[in-house]
């Protein structure tokens, strides 16, 4: 199945010069969504994953589904103030300012193998922050999986210490 054909590209959204990749046509199509999840699961099945982590919010869609298919737990990585128990935070740089991600301190046991799953790899900042959070509580990040990769933003370079897989690639 050509998953790229299920992505709606909207130029100049949310602002001029941005080429937005809308995943909603793909996730509403049960066959396309199922195929995308199956391809990620297939790539992870021999990596002895203990947990899938997913950054807010679309990482929840793909991450939880992949975790269920693999028979492993799902760990949310959230924006500040969204998790109810004791958390640890990681602040990171964006192109224009800073952002913060949080994870529960007890989310992942020391030495457990984690794959991070999200819809989009752009600059890699969010994924690197998620990896640093997971590692700070003792998890081992063994894979990063994406539906879409925007190759021109070179996020893969920022994540060069990790195994990275993406299903659909765009040059912009």
- Residue 38, by phi and psi: left (phi above 0), alpha (psi -120 to 50) or beta? alpha
Q: Which two tokens stand for residue 96?
A: 């224009």
Catalytic residue among 8, 11, 56, 58: 58
Active site residue 58: yes
CA distance 128 to 133: 9
DSSP summary character for residue 172: -
Catalytic residue among 95, 113, 135, 151: 95
Active site residue 95: yes
End-to-end CA distance of the chain: 22
Active site residues: 58, 95
């Amino acid at each position: 199945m050509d998953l790229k054909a299920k992505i709606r590209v909207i130029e100049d959204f949310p602002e001029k010069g941005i080429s937005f990749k809308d995943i909603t046509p793909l996730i509403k199509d049960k066959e396309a969504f199922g195929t995308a999840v199956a391809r990620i699961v297939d790539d992870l099945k021999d990596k002895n994953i203990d947990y899938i982590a997913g950054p807010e919010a679309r990482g929840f869609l793909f991450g939880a589904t992949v975790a269920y298919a693999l028979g492993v737990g799902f760990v949310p990585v959230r924006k500040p103030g969204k998790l109810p128990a004791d958390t640890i935070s990681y602040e990171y740089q964006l192109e224009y300012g800073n952002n913060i991600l949080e994870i529960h301190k007890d989310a992942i046991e020391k030495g457990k193998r984690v794959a991070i799953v999200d819809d989009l790899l752009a600059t890699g900042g969010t994924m690197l922050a998620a990896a640093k959070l997971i590692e700070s509580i003792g998890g081992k990040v063994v894979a990063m999986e994406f539906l879409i990769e925007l190759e021109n933003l070179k996020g893969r370079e920022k994540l060069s210490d990790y195994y990275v897989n993406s299903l659909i690639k765009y040059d912009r």
